[in-house]
């Protein structure tokens, strides 16, 4: 079965800055319709890329938080075992 292509990594900050530029241009209203449509399409693409990057960051934070909770629980159990043996 063919593998799904991974989404290209984006530089979140650069993409967000570019999205802000696109929004400013669109809000100015100075663009001909064709240019405005191209800018809108670019904005949608940038938005999706930023959302994807944020989702990946959120998933990574969730995983790291879960790992930390597991480590803390294991550490607490180890300390408890140590204290039980030292009595």
Strand extents, DSSP E, 1-87: none
Residue 12: closest CA among 44, 57, 43, 42: 57
Tell me: the pLDDT tens digits for 49-72?
A: 999 999 999 999 999 998 888 787
How do residues 8-64 score in pLDDT, each as one tens digit? Answer: 567 999 999 999 999 999 999 999 999 999 999 999 999 999 999 999 999 999 999
Q: What's the distance, Cα to Cα, between the start and end of the chain in Å?
A: 60
The pTM score is 0.66
Cβ–Cβ < 8 Å for 30, 10? no
- The continuous run of DSSP H or E covering 32 comes out as none
């Amino acid at each position: 079965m063919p593998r799904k292509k991974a989404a290209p990594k984006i530089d979140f900050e650069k993409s967000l800055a570019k999205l802000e530029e696109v929004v400013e241009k669109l809000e100015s209203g100075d663009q001909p319709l064709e240019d405005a449509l191209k800018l809108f399409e670019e904005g949608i693409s940038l938005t999706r890329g930023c959302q994807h990057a944020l989702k990946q960051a959120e998933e990574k934070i969730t995983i790291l938080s879960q790992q930390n909770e597991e480590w803390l629980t294991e550490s607490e159990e180890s300390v408890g075992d140590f204290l039980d043996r030292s009595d």
